[in-house]
Amino acid sequence: MFRRLPETAAQPVTVVIDGRPVRVPFDLTAAAAVLIGDGITRTTPVSGSPRAPYCMMGVCFDCLMEIDGVPNTQACMVPVAEGMRINRQVGARKVRS
C-alpha cells in the first residue's frame, strides 16, 4: 500500500502481526508497520466494519490495536520493537472479571 523512500531504509526488526512474523524498519510505528501489509488495524465495536490508520498522529483513534497484550492501543503512537506482538482489535475489548 505504501512504499518507503530508499534513502530512509533502516535496520529491520521482527514484529509479529496477527501471528505472522514480519521484518520491518526499526524506526516505524506499529501502525506504519501494519500499513506495509493490508493496513487493517481493527473492526469497530459499533458496526463491525474494518478500519485503517488515518491521522497517524494520535488524534483519530482509528488505529486501535492490541499491542503486546494491551487492547485498544493507538498503534500510531507506539514505535516497533523486536518481537512486538501486534494484533487486530476485533470489536470492543473485554474487561477482566
Residues binding other proteins (CB under 8 A): 45-46, 61, 64, 72, 91-97
Shortest Å distance, C-beta 46 to other proteins: 5
**Which CB, 29 or 73, lies closer to other proteins?**
73
Residue in the block written with cell 521482527: 14
Q: Return the exposure string of 1-20: e unless at least 16 CB atoms fall within 10 Å of the residue's CB, then b.
A: eeeeeeeeeeeebebebeee
**Which CB, 37 or 58, lies closer to other proteins?**
58
C-alpha cell belonging to residue 15: 514484529
Shortest Å distance, C-beta 64 to other proteins: 8
Shortest Å distance, C-beta 21 to other proteins: 28
